Amino acid sequence: MFKTGAGVLADRRRLPTALRAVLGYYADTGVFDAGSLSLKSEIDDRTEAMVDDVTDRIEDALEDEFGRPVEFSYDTKLILPAQLTLGYVYRNARQQAPGDPVIDAIADGVPTVDETALEQGPAQDLAPREMVVRAEQMTRLSIEALIDGDMRDAINDDEFEDFEVDFDASEADRRRVAEVAQSALQSHLDGLLEDMPPVVENAYQWAVDYSEAHQDRDGYFRELMTAAEDGDEDSLTDIREEYKFAEYDEEPATLTETEKELPYSKTQYARVGVLYDGMLDLYRLAGLDIDDEFAKAIVLAIIGAQVWLDDVDDYGDDRAEGQLTPVTAEYLLAPDDEAAYRRVVDVTEQYLDLAKSYATVADSPLTGVAVEYIYRSGEPDVLPGKPE
């Protein structure tokens, strides 16, 4: 009875999305964990401080470039997996050592992170205190790396609307801002990685190289889309075989056959998923126990979010600019707009439903609620062909 009522409330759009996500996850799984909701607030505060550190570094570089102070803000959803992973480690640590004042102090922002924690390599059977210290260190590194990667994508795709500066910037200025910001982040990241064991830098570089190899094919995919728009049947076949159902030429670190067979799995894993596989490897190399189901939940959730939030919202611009995404691909491959709309929803639900089920198996309600939040934040009404 309670689950049914929660499901009804979750569908009421006038309620806040965050509340609907909690209710929807409970209605779907029967899981409600008040402690995870409290933990989310703590994790948000900790990671916000980390993002502020990155922003300060970018603003210093922009001041040098433009000869005056520049306020910079960046709206990115792509650090969510780092937040969820920190929350996952915190929850496990607190379950092992409830009420530990050192763990609580770190959550309150006390700077206890040992910057040399990895110098001796990964440790096994970490004590709860050491777990959260290392998780903090890896989360700081991951957030900076993820923002760097997101900025690289913005430069590659000529899409700069996700960040703001406090002056009337031309398109050329916005590119210049992005390039300066990315250069500053890369320089700092290189210094951090030099101070860590080579295996950490190798894991990071592998993920970057894998993602950039996909970006290098962007021009080819644009050509396919242009030809398909002009009615070339061979190009439609190539989009289906090389983009929607492409075969992996290098095995993904986390995904199994089930996930590899999902539509767009290979291309979207290379586009965004691999970066989070690489991120999770950093936590593992720090000696932290990251469950395989949790890792799959993270990778699938971020792919689903990329399609459902970014690609859906950007459909009009991407179609006009010849940018191939799972959404623009479906509007080329489907027989009509309504069929394309249904396929986009279906693809999204395949990823997010699997992500939610893996989060539940991994005992990470915070991740499950986040997946539900992603789904309920989507606005597919912007797409053509919505069934009446």
31 to 1, 6, 35, 167, 352: CA distances (angstroms): 14, 11, 12, 47, 17
Q: CA-CA distance, 201 to 205, in Å (whole number)?
A: 6
% of the chain exceeding 90 in pLDDT? 48
Predicted pLDDT of residue 23 = 62
| Span 323-356, pLDDT tens digits | 999 999 999 999 999 999 999 999 999 999 999 9
| Span 295-332, pLDDT tens digits | 999 999 999 999 999 999 999 999 999 999 999 999 99
Q: What is the number of residues in the chain? A: 388
Q: CA-CA distance, 317 to 187, in Å (whole number)?
A: 32
What are the chain's domains?
1-31 (no CATH), 32-380 (1.10.600)
Left, alpha or beta for 322 (phi > 0: left; psi -120 to 50: alpha)?
A: left
Predicted pLDDT of residue 105 = 62
- Collect all residues with Cβ–Cβ distance below 8 Å to 119 and sequence separation of at least 6: 196, 197
The rounded Cα 220 to chain-centroid distance in angstroms is: 25
Q: CA-CA distance, 290 to 347, in Å (whole number)?
A: 27
pLDDT at residue 163 tops 60 = yes
Token pair 């603003």 is found at 59
Predicted pLDDT of residue 114 = 45
Q: Name which residue leads in pLDDT, 156 or 272.
A: 272
| 347 close to 264: Cβ distance less than 8 angstroms | yes
What is the number of alpha carbons within 13 Å of residue 175 lying toward its C-beta?
Answer: 7
What is the number of alpha carbons within 13 Å of residue 150 lying toward its C-beta?
Answer: 21
130: enclosing H helix or E strand: helix 128-157
